[in-house]
Chains A and B, each alone.
Chain A
């Protein structure tokens, strides 16, 4: 079942095109990672999803309803955590949490206490005294103690310490087990790797890559370190081999995943002493897309330049 569907979403601010034909899909019980550099359009997309910005073109539906015209109905089943949580300086954390839960419609006091404890927050302090991380905790506590079907999290952990990040990851996994869906926009790629079932990468207002992590890995290169009895010759001439370097540990290079077979056969002739391979990380994938000079970017639609 599709919870969230964005098709061909375009958003212009005057002449500036912030989003140019974005497509997203989120299924029930799934965690979708939404990654991209600053200014790529992550937050703009999310603000359209929330009905705060009106789409210039394209369809945005959540729970089968229109994100703009049915915003209030949709929001009853959504929990949103912004990346920059600006709060009212003269209200206490506890008051804000209660307010947020109440404004959504439902109220669940026992949940609230549990999450305040989990995130280790003192709710009696005024918001002006909270650090960025603590303000984020308030938004997270309000989000997780409400009984939502879709969680929209926009860089929710940028101010949290590693301990709290772990608590956050547990919370996300727990809502997933309950069959809820999550849209997680993040810079922290290890977090996305750990949590997400699928990933969409946005660049300059367009989605350039979507798929499960294993699908995406297929599109990228594996990192190899090789030591052989005889020096390897003519490695560079092989198809799909890049960045060959001689280091103390041996020869390091990267290969296109679908060329692994050929390359290993070639190396085998020289007598392998050591062979280490590292799977491509999301970071490699990400870097490859944002290097700019990448001649191998092949799939997906690219933004206009």
Chain B
């Protein structure tokens, strides 16, 4: 009986909220905070007509349009600026939020067998899906209202109530569309990984279709829900049609998801699940092959991310002069040296940020060694004829190569986009050398992680504190006028700020030596301790 299909959804809504109250709160707070802090920052950065003219020039290139979509550059008020530079990205993140939460309460719970228990109780067939979607509706409505009224409450000129509410509504509606997309995919796919993976793929494809459309053919952008985000022309024409379109699509997606859920068996999907490999490939059959295979997806995702990061930094190099003119804060961070172009002066700061970000994936790769131990899977490897040294060295090699690839891709991305937008192009060897100078410091960080795994595995997460410390001290060091030794508590503090400073190889050599000592010690410790 249809009316019984939704029984007890209310109780289940409370169950979902109880499970996710932290998660939901953090998403809400984070999204609201970053949305509200940007226009305030903009109003400080772009106080004068001249500042705005500068940023308009920076934005007026296809690379920017591909990244953030078209904007109202003719009348680039603070509102238009916020909507242009922030709305699309934020909407994509809201989409991601919806994907993760919906996947969590559909396929993940089904795979873990919790839905089975709930279905065995007197609840409706569709109740849990219904409860999940209702929670998402509530979450996105709250997000829309908080952001909408929050933006208006900032009291910034040109950010009037209608535009602000539309800003929030676009975010919430995008969230709902991707909640619907994920709910449908959760019925089609038969695994939680497949559900999350396919849904994120849809999000990325939507972003790409829109990027291509915005640059070449506006009509194409209408095929992507993320294209509709920019069509709303928030703080300009304030077009509500895209929001209505999104709500209609959401409703259709929800109905489809309910229908598919009602006609399928628990634990089954509609997409054929192709059987996996019956035999292992030769590649997998060694400790290092196993390490690489287990980290494959993560490495590829990070590599793409780092490359895109490089491109996005590179694409703003074109109009640095206009961007920095009159900006006191930025001028303070930069090293002021006569005889160098602004780009050259800007490079070291970019490099620190990029090098520290590129340090994250290799450390994650190294830390997996302890992760495997905690998940009690390491025993399968060292319980066989694999020595602990061999195992740890495999992880070290993967992490060290990983770091090199990440750093290189960031530099290549920066150069590729930069040389496209900067008049006269950029010298590749200068940029690549400036980036690679940070490699020894990165290797030191990896070696410290290895050392901790060998001796103090329970304190392994401290390595992230150290990375964060390095970031704070070196990125903001110029601003706060710290003494040198504060920066030199981090290996990154010893790196010559090429090309503004000369390349000095001695500190780099020293860092590599330190790294080798930590690694040898780490292997020694790992050989001699109890495995959890």
**Measuring CB to CB, which residues of chain A are less than 8 angstroms from any residue of chain B?**
13, 47, 50-54, 71-73, 75-76, 78, 80, 82, 84, 86-92, 94-100, 102-105, 122-126, 128-129, 139
Which listed residue (B278, B280, B379, B528) contacts A99, Cβ 8 A? B280
Nearest CB in chain A: distance from B368 CB, A: 11
Cβ-defined contact, B382 with A52, below 8 A: yes
Q: Would you call B279 an interface residue if the criterion is a C-beta within 8 Å of the partner chain's C-beta atoms? A: yes
Some 8 contacts from A to B, beta carbons below 8 A apart, are A50-B379, A80-B383, A89-B193, A90-B294, A95-B276, A98-B279, A98-B280, A124-B278
Q: Would you call B529 an interface residue if the criterion is a C-beta within 8 Å of the partner chain's C-beta atoms? A: yes
The count of chain B contact residues (Cβ–Cβ below 8 Å) is 33
Cβ-defined contact, A99 with B386, below 8 A: no
Nearest CB in chain A: distance from B487 CB, A: 39
In the complex, chain B residues whose CB is within 8 Å of the CB of A123: 278
Cβ-defined contact, A53 with B111, below 8 A: no
Which listed residue (B294, B375, B387) contacts A72, Cβ 8 A? B387
With A92-B276, A124-B275, A129-B191: A98-B285 Cβ-Cβ less than 8 Å? yes
Q: Would you call B205 an interface residue if the criterion is a C-beta within 8 Å of the partner chain's C-beta atoms? A: no
With A95-B280, A98-B279, A98-B284: A52-B379 Cβ-Cβ less than 8 Å? yes
With A86-B377, A94-B280: A71-B528 Cβ-Cβ less than 8 Å? no
Cβ-defined contact, A87 with B111, below 8 A: no
Q: Would you call B458 an interface residue if the criterion is a C-beta within 8 Å of the partner chain's C-beta atoms? A: no
In the complex, chain B residues whose CB is within 8 Å of the CB of A53: 530-531
In the complex, chain B residues whose CB is within 8 Å of the CB of A126: 191, 276
Interface residues as binary, B368-394 with A (CB distance below 8 Å gives 1, 0 otherwise): 000000011101111111110000000
**Which residue on chain A has the smallest CB distance to residue B296?**
A90
Nearest CB in chain B: distance from A104 CB, A: 5
Which of B191, B276, B530, B531 has the largest number of chain A CB atoms within 10 A? B276
Which listed residue (A75, A84, A88) contacts B294, Cβ 8 A? A88
In the complex, chain A residues whose CB is within 8 Å of the CB of B379: 47, 50, 52, 80, 82
**Which residue on chain A has the smallest CB distance to residue B372?**
A88
With A54-B530, A72-B386, A91-B293: A103-B287 Cβ-Cβ less than 8 Å? yes
Cβ-defined contact, B193 with A90, below 8 A: yes
Cβ-defined contact, B528 with A94, below 8 A: no
Cβ-defined contact, B278 with A94, below 8 A: yes
- Give bound CA distance, A47 to B531, whole Å: 9
Cβ-defined contact, B377 with A99, below 8 A: no
In the complex, chain A residues whose CB is within 8 Å of the CB of B375: 86
The 7 closest A-B pairs by CB, nearest first: A92-B276, A98-B280, A124-B275, A95-B280, A103-B384, A102-B285, A94-B278
Interface residues of B in 265-295 (CB under 8 A from A): 275-280, 284-287, 290, 293-294
- Give bound CA distance, A72 to B391, whole Å: 12
Nearest CB in chain B: distance from A26 CB, A: 18
In the complex, chain B residues whose CB is within 8 Å of the CB of A139: 380
With A82-B379, A100-B384: A124-B285 Cβ-Cβ less than 8 Å? no
- Give bound CA distance, A105 to B277, whole Å: 21
**Which residue on chain B has the smallest CB distance to residue A77?**
B385
In the complex, chain A residues whose CB is within 8 Å of the CB of B287: 103
**Measuring CB to CB, which residues of chain B are less than 8 angstroms from any residue of chain A?**
111, 191, 193, 275-280, 284-287, 290, 293-294, 297, 375-377, 379-387, 528-531
Which listed residue (A84, A98, A125, A129) contacts B376, Cβ 8 A? A84
Q: A86-B377, A91-B293, A100-B384 are in contact. List 5 more A-B contacts (CB 8 A).
A: A75-B383, A86-B375, A96-B280, A104-B384, A125-B276
With A92-B278, A124-B275, A128-B191: A54-B384 Cβ-Cβ less than 8 Å? no
- Give bound CA distance, A6 to B385, whole Å: 21
In the complex, chain B residues whose CB is within 8 Å of the CB of A94: 276-280
- Give bound CA distance, A3 to B257, whole Å: 61
Cβ-defined contact, B377 with A87, below 8 A: yes
Cβ-defined contact, A124 with B385, below 8 A: no
Which of B293, B294, B385, B530 has the largest number of chain A CB atoms within 10 A? B385
Cβ-defined contact, B383 with A52, below 8 A: yes
In the complex, chain A residues whose CB is within 8 Å of the CB of B277: 92, 94-95, 124
Cβ-defined contact, A54 with B528, below 8 A: yes
In the complex, chain B residues whose CB is within 8 Å of the CB of A72: 385-387
Cβ-defined contact, B384 with A75, below 8 A: yes
In the complex, chain A residues whose CB is within 8 Å of the CB of B111: 128
- Give bound CA distance, A213 to B368, whole Å: 46
Which listed residue (A54, A102, A122) contacts B529, Cβ 8 A? A54
- Give bound CA distance, A283 to B386, whole Å: 39
In the complex, chain B residues whose CB is within 8 Å of the CB of A105: 384-385
Cβ-defined contact, A99 with B275, below 8 A: no
- Give bound CA distance, A53 to B373, whole Å: 13
- Give bound CA distance, A75 to B380, whole Å: 11
- Give bound CA distance, A227 to B281, whole Å: 70
Which listed residue (A84, A87, A95) contacts B279, Cβ 8 A? A95
Cβ-defined contact, B279 with A103, below 8 A: no
**Which residue on chain A has the smallest CB distance to residue B388?**
A71
In the complex, chain A residues whose CB is within 8 Å of the CB of B530: 13, 52-54
In the complex, chain A residues whose CB is within 8 Å of the CB of B294: 88, 90-91
In the complex, chain A residues whose CB is within 8 Å of the CB of B290: 99
In the complex, chain B residues whose CB is within 8 Å of the CB of A75: 382-386
With A72-B387, A86-B375, A92-B276: A103-B531 Cβ-Cβ less than 8 Å? no
Cβ-defined contact, B531 with A104, below 8 A: no
**Which residue on chain A has the smallest CB distance to residue B375?**
A86
